[in-house]
Amino acid sequence: MGAVAQPLPQADQFCRDEAVLAAPAERVWEVLTDLATWQQWWNLVTIVPLGPTQLAPGVQFRFEGQRPGRPPTAWTVEVLELDPPRRIELAYTEGDLVGRTAWELQPAEGGTRTAYVYRGVHATSPGSGATFERYGTRLHSVAMQVDALAGLARYLRGEPLDDAWRADVHARMNAGVAALD
């Protein structure tokens, strides 16, 4: 007799992961709205453009990723709205995750408070559902802090985003996952 499929969690996930980046909001905005830069500073996922790389309403792209020993995950993102230089509204429209997200920028002492916000994201695949069941958004928050926000900060400072840095991100992500268990 085969295994019985487990139901996916029904609860939407909400979180806010942020850092103060040492750059003016206009510079952060410039980088965030140029999808061609994302793969340079965000290395735990692959960003696949599905058209133009300059963000505008209607532009779509895919996130693809895989943690070691886990099945691959992928989801399509659509840009819903731009409010320069304060907010990029996004929707995960299909794939392993669906729901609303956003980049939000606010002036802060020392630069720009930059946040990636889950506005209600839920899993549509068993693997992603199991991850949310186990970690909630804590795993996402670790990845955002050690990879996306840290990489964006390095990119803005002109620091190397080389193999040594990428290896360090993977080591910090593994340590972060171990700390969650």
Interatomic CA distance for residues 142 and 11, integer angstroms: 20
Helix (H) or strand (E) holding 65: strand 60-65
Q: Which of 114, 29, 128 is nearest to 70 (CA)?
A: 128
pTM: 0.92
Residue 103: give the domain boundaries. Answer: 13-180
Question: If DSSP codes are grouped into helix, strand and coil, which group holds residue 135?
Answer: helix
Q: What CATH number did the domain enclosing 71 receive? A: 3.30.530.20
Establish if 4 belongs to a structural domain: no
Establish if 6 belongs to a structural domain: no
Establish if 31 belongs to a structural domain: yes
Establish if 108 belongs to a structural domain: yes
Establish if 8 belongs to a structural domain: no
Give Cα 119 to chain centroid, integer Å. Answer: 13
Establish if 101 belongs to a structural domain: yes
Dump pLDDT digits (tens) for 36-56. 999 999 999 999 999 999 999
Provide the number of structural domains found in the chain. 1
Dump pLDDT digits (tens) for 92-133. 999 999 999 999 999 999 999 999 999 999 999 998 998 899
